Chain A
Amino acid sequence: MNVPEYLQTNFTNFSYIVASILFIIGLKMLGSADTARRGNFLSSMGMLLAVVATLLSSGMSYHWIVVGIAVGGVIGTLAARTVKMTGMPEMVALFNGSGGVASLLVGLAEYYNKEGTEMGIAIALPTALAVLIGGITFTGSLVAYGKLAERITGKPILFTGQNWVNLALLFAALALAIAFAIQAGNASVLLLVLVGLSLVLGVAVVIPIGGADMPVVIALLNSYSGLAACAAGFIIQNNVLIVAGALVGASGLILTSIMCKAMNRSLTNVLFSGFGSAVASGGGEQVEGEARPVSAEDTYYILEAARSVLFVPGYGMAVAQAQHAAEELGQILEGNGAEVNYGIHPVAGRMPGHMNVLLAEANVPYELLSEPEDVNPVMNTIDVAIVIGANDVVNPAARTDEASPIYGMPIINVDHAKTCIVLKRSLNPGFAGIQNALFFSPNTRMLFGDAKATLQAVISEFKDR
């Protein structure tokens, strides 16, 4: 190509600006249900443009580029096409991790491409940060994946002095990063040690966090992957990386804070408290009364008479894969003249929006899904609230028991409904290790068993009549 170089540079930079605009508009549109899909498409076009513009810029040898894009593209496509909706939290964690490791590798690759030349602190510092943040994102996401896929225990892994060890690791990593930056990049040993340290750090900060706090962790790691891309942008002095990375960093932070608010806990508390470990102090209030088990047949009689029904799903629905059965029962109840809604707590499940994805997969229209602040005011008009494998997010102790670890967490007040049916395997306390007075309340009926099986039993009661 005989295009003058200044024209080509202008073309590349102009394309990057357009790509940045597409990312901004796309992200904005992702925030609203009607436009989300188009938003995602626009943002993908921005990405395509940025990639093509980079490929067309001068001095590229395509050989390895083709290999890299082809291999990564095929793996990504297969993963995205074959993943089940129930496996979505794990998938998101893995994609996040691959973004993190990509930024780490970009940092390393740029370092070795420029080895011997004077980097200057302005390049060396972001190199260290890309490695550090990218590394934490990578192994942190892998541990999150392991917990979500239950390859490793979902319980917090704790040891004495853990927070101090982590803090020491973090300071050591920061000190290394600064030392590397001051030496203006003439220190490959420092950089390699930093790689190792950041990989260890990613594991160390995520293992003490329990499964039910995963929504916060995933949102936070998402933010980190953006910041790592940002750091990579500073290395290659590229605007589009900085803009896109910062946007992701910010959106991840917002999601993180939404998740923390939904649990009425601070980020520090989520990250450092080892919440949900077996040693949970438990509520001060003694749970009184006894649980009232109910059969599928009795459940049928209760539901048959109900005029308004609210489903409240939790992680147990995901485990039992009961979303299709819930949808079917919802349809039957609607056909029976009842008004059916779904109350979704923001932190129900293992990732932000987990329940919504599952119910969408089961074809539940999204208008039927309401948030706690919408369903709580009308809760006493609800005839039957059906709790499917949710526990802490419907525990009235959050409202009443100041000694409870979850006190102050906004919950869905199913105990205010006229009748509450709880689908649960057993009376075991939930993830947080806290007894739930709801199960022993006079208005509550316990339908024990696998949620999918019991829902199907209730459905066949309806069909047999």
Chain B
Amino acid sequence: MVLLLLIFVLSIFLGLELISKVPSQLHTPLMSGSNAISGITIVGAIIAAGSSEGSLGTILGTAALVAAAINVVGGYLVTDRMLGMFKRKEKTDR
């Protein structure tokens, strides 16, 4: 428990350091990309849906899994699509 808390606190600080200065053109991709990362809760959903201990837990876990998979798959794809549109001047053929 204490170790997990330590990991939590360190990760928060790491996160604050990692992205302290972000150019505004990347605000949306950063948001949707990090949103996809928050879909990591999918791991919890898999564990909940896969442990066939109780039927109610399994149903709730499966529902969680659907929501988390939407978040993960959709989040990464949409971020990639957006970033694919950001072009430098020399690369555009004009």
Contact = CB atoms under 8 A, between A and B. Distances in A.
Interface of A: 23-24, 26-28, 30-33, 36-37, 39-41, 43-44, 47, 50-51, 54-55, 59-65, 67-69, 71-73, 75-77, 79-81, 83, 85, 88, 91-92, 95-96, 98-99, 101-106, 108-115, 122, 218-219, 222, 225-226, 228-230, 232-255, 258, 331, 344, 346, 351-354, 356-357, 360-361, 363, 365-369, 371
A50 B59 CA distance: 22
B68 A98 contact: yes
Nearest to B88: A365
B71 A76 contact: yes
Contacts of A236: 43-44, 47
A100 to B, nearest CB: 8
A436 B21 CA distance: 31
A240 B43 contact: yes
Q: Which 4 A-B pairs have the closest CB atoms?
A: A72-B69, A250-B15, A68-B65, A353-B27
Contacts of A239: 4, 7
Interface in B1-27: 1, 4, 7-8, 11-16, 18-27
Contacts of A83: 78
B4 A73 contact: no
A70 to B, nearest CB: 8
B89 A367 contact: yes
A26 B79 CA distance: 12
Contacts, number: 405
B25 A91 contact: no
B16 to A, nearest CB: 5
A98 B79 CA distance: 16
A251 B36 CA distance: 12
A98 B70 contact: yes
Given A33-B86, A64-B65, A95-B78, 16 more contacts: A54-B43, A55-B50, A61-B50, A76-B75, A79-B78, A80-B76, A95-B74, A96-B35, A102-B42, A113-B54, A242-B7, A244-B40, A254-B19, A353-B25, A365-B88, A367-B89
